[in-house]
Amino acid sequence: MVEIPMESGILPIGVISGGTLRRNYTLRPMRVKDSLAARRSPDMPRAEGDDNLLGLISFAARLDIDGVPREEMTLDFMLELLDDDLTEILEADQRLKEEIARFRGAPSEKADAGASEAAHPLGGSPGDGPAGSDAVA
């Protein structure tokens, strides 16, 4: 059976949830249910007009961190991530895009060296970072 690719890894620093440091994560491709969840998020009014915040909401919808309850995965949770952890998630998203391209049989587009810095939501250009990662339109 063929399965849609997912990207798993370990956050460099991690997050505290339930009094325990959590570092293992899985990022899945954006699905329709994730887009709908992001659009219906109570955080949506706060994020409207800000591609970076919209991108973080979409990441929250498709990111699982072992031991962190789904209801904790909010915009505020994502905003509390340390830069190194967000960079890891952005890099995982790029690896996932490349894997999906191979899954579809299309040639993958390799990121330029330093692309993770350009993709950072606070340092990237419009269309980069979370909002450029199949995020909610």
Give the residue extent of every domain in the chain: 25-128
What is residue 91's predicted lDDT score, i.e. its pLDDT? 97
pLDDT tier at 1 (50, 70, 90 boundaries)?
Answer: low
CB 118 within 8 A of CB 124: yes
What whole-number distance in Å separates Cα of residue 18 and Cα of residue 92?
25
pLDDT band of 104, cuts 50, 70, 90: confident
Distances (CA, A) of 112 to 75, 88, 91, 102, 117: 28, 16, 12, 18, 10
* Phi, psi for 72 (deg, rounded to 5): -80, -15
Q: Which residues pair with 10 in a beta bridge?
A: 24
Q: Lowest mean pLDDT: which of 29-43, 55-69, 109-123?
A: 109-123
Instruction: Note the pLDDT of residue 106.
Output: 63
The better pLDDT of the pair 79, 108 is held by: 79
Average pLDDT over residues 37-65: 92
Is residue 85 pLDDT above 60, yes or no? Answer: yes
Comparing 118 with 59, the larger pLDDT belongs to 59
To 10 degrees, what angle do helices 32-39 and 51-62 make?
130
